[in-house]
Structure 1
């Protein structure tokens, strides 16, 4: 459901695969921290108020964490469609990607966004991110059903740009902390927006230039 109009040079293909593989492994390591189910590790250590006062929070959290890794993988496999010679993966990977986002990853992400660290600005950002993630994926699904594959691809790229915010927000966090050493809550307010807005701007630029 995702493809680019111009062929990607082989060296760039290799770099993209290696780059994604590296960041996917990092995300997988984060996921492994919560297997078996734990409530006092990593991110959950700073969410003990929600863990203690809102029993449903952990359900949404685990749903989001466990499904997001498969969303990343299925989305990337869908991108491999033509340029990487894996066209057979496209349709099935796309179905998995859409199902996981619409029914599990995005709704749980929106719920978690309501309780995000960093105050009201972070909460607004993560709720908008989750809502637009759901909408862009649903829009792509609708367009595919109506055989409008050109716009379908564009909306799927928008959706995947939001999907990889799981990676880019962590990249921005490392950069910002290394360069400026800000207060932890200030970091959350910054990366809440930086994690996905630059991604969307880049995708809109590529769409405008007809690269995708």
Structure 2
């Protein structure tokens, strides 16, 4: 095994570990104290709002499911050898993503950090929802490459759950103001993800062109 293969497998392992680890993160909201994590930043009035609570728990539960089942879909070996399971998990991912995105858009109007953070999370929710729907419609038409392209963007948006938890502690090292850091991370958690997805998509397209696929 050469160095390149070792690095790729190592990065894939880190990617899988982060996806699985963060997908289980919502469990903490169902055990122990109720004012943990993000809930600690919310007002008592908002925490008593049944509609907001429905949106919050819908967002984290279905978002966790999407994150958990989605990462393996990027394995070519998995897609070719376990095609039936790939399709089942694809449907689970799509339904979970749509529900979580819609719930996310709803609760984003009350996001910590005010208007800047709210617009960041609303934009993320809209992009996640739209790319998932478009990807699903393409696979129904048999347009595999276009389906893969939009699923790449969809999971890049989904992966914001991971990158938010990576970037926020880093930002807090360099600034004392949580609100400022949260306004920044509301955009930083997903914009670079989409740019990376765009780069990977175009790199794969170039390879297909070179090899005449």
Shorter-chain TM range is 0.7 to 0.9
What SS does the aligned partner of 2:77 have? coil
Normalising by structure 1, report the TM-score: 0.85
Partner of 1:193: 187
Partner of 2:96: 100
What SS does the aligned partner of 2:29 have? coil
Relative distance call for 1:125 and 1:64 in structure 2 (3 A) is: same
Query: Per residue, is there more helix in 1 or in 2?
Result: 2
Greater shift in the superposed pair: 59-68 or 30-39 = 30-39
**Structure 1 contact 81–90 (Cα < 8 Å) conserved:** no
Partner of 1:51: 47
Aligned structure 1 segments of 4 or more residues deviating by more than 6 angstroms: none
Partner of 1:130: 125
Structure 1 residues not aligned, in runs of 5+: 1-8
| 1: CA distance, partners of 2:113 / 2:58 | 22
**Structure 2 contact 164–185 (Cα < 8 Å) conserved:** yes
**Structure 2 contact 105–121 (Cα < 8 Å) conserved:** yes
| 2: CA distance, partners of 1:128 / 1:166 | 14
Partner of 2:211: none
**Structure 1 contact 140–153 (Cα < 8 Å) conserved:** yes
Task: Give the C-alpha shift of residue 78 in structure 1.
Answer: 1.4
**Structure 1 contact 126–192 (Cα < 8 Å) conserved:** yes
Q: Deviations over 1:172-198 (max 9, x none)?
A: 1121112x1231100111000000000
Partner of 1:206: 200
Partner of 1:150: 145
| 1: CA distance, partners of 2:155 / 2:21 | 18
Partner of 1:4: none
Query: What root-mean-square deviation, in Å, do the aligned CA atoms of Structure 1 and Structure 2 show?
Result: 2.2
Higher relative contact order (CA 8 A, sep 6+): 1
Greater shift in the superposed pair: 57-66 or 122-131 = 57-66
Partner of 2:86: 90
**Structure 1 contact 81–87 (Cα < 8 Å) conserved:** no
What SS does the aligned partner of 2:34 have? coil
Partner of 1:79: 74
What SS does the aligned partner of 1:82 have? helix
| 1: CA distance, partners of 2:81 / 2:47 | 42
| 1: CA distance, partners of 2:80 / 2:11 | 14
Task: Give the C-alpha shift of residue 21 in structure 1.
Answer: 4.0
